[in-house]
C-alpha cells in the first residue's frame, strides 16, 4: 500500500496593523481552503500564532518554522507587514513556491513586483474568497504534482 504524503500549506498575512475585516477575509479563506479540498489528499494548513498567543520569540520561531516546513506558501499582500516580509524573504531564500494574492485595487510594493519579475513568486489579484480559492487551488495542485514527482 502506497503511503500518502501530507502536503503542507502556510498562509501568511499582515496582522498587527491590518483592519479586522482583512483578518476576517484571510481566516475565511483558510477555512474555505480546508473545506474545499479533495478528501483523498493528505493536506494541512499550517497556522500562524497570531496577535493574542505566545511571546515574541514564540511567534518568531513558530511562524518562520512554518515557512521552513511548508511545501507552498500563500501570502495575502493587501496590507503592509514587516513580519510577512520576513516570512516571504525566508521562503524565497529556501526556494519555496510562493503565491502572493492581492485585491486589484491594492497597492503592491515594487519589491514584490520585482520578485515576480525574477520568477521568485507568483503575484495574482483576487476579487473575492471564491476567486482566491480557485487561484490557490490551481497553484497548489501544480506545485503538488511537481512535489510528488520528486518526493
Per-domain residue ranges of the chain: 7-150
Inter-residue contact 97 to 139 (CB < 8 Å): yes
**Which pTM was predicted?**
0.90
Hey, what CATH topology would domain 7-150 get?
A: Rossmann fold (3.40.50)
Q: Please identify which residue in the block is written with the cell numbers 497556522.
A: 47
What percent of the residues of the chain are helix, what percent strand, and what percent coil, each to the nearest 5? 50, 15, 35
Per-residue pLDDT of the chain (151 residues; tens, 9 = 90+): 455 667 899 999 999 999 999 999 999 999 998 886 666 677 889 988 876 778 889 989 999 999 999 999 999 999 999 999 999 999 999 999 999 999 999 999 999 999 999 999 999 999 999 999 999 999 988 887 776 666 5
Amino acid at each position: 500500500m502506497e503511503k500518502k504524503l501530507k502536503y503542507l500549506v502556510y498562509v501568511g498575512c499582515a496582522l498587527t496593523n491590518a483592519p479586522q475585516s482583512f483578518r476576517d477575509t484571510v481566516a475565511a479563506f483558510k477555512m474555505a481552503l480546508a473545506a474545499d479540498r479533495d478528501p483523498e489528499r493528505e493536506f494541512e494548513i499550517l497556522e500562524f500564532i497570531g496577535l493574542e498567543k505566545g511571546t515574541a520569540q514564540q511567534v518568531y520561531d513558530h511562524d518562520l518554522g512554518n515557512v521552513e516546513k511548508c511545501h507552498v506558501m500563500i501570502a495575502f499582500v493587501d496590507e503592509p507587514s514587516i513580519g510577512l516580509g520576513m516570512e516571504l524573504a525566508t521562503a524565497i531564500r529556501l526556494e519555496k513556491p510562493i503565491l502572493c494574492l492581492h485585491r486589484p485595487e491594492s497597492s503592491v510594493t515594487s519589491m514584490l513586483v520585482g520578485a515576480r519579475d525574477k520568477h521568485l513568486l507568483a503575484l495574482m489579484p483576487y476579487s473575492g474568497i471564491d476567486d482566491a480559492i480557485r487561484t490557490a487551488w490551481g497553484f497548489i495542485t501544480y506545485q503538488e504534482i511537481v512535489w510528488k514527482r520528486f518526493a
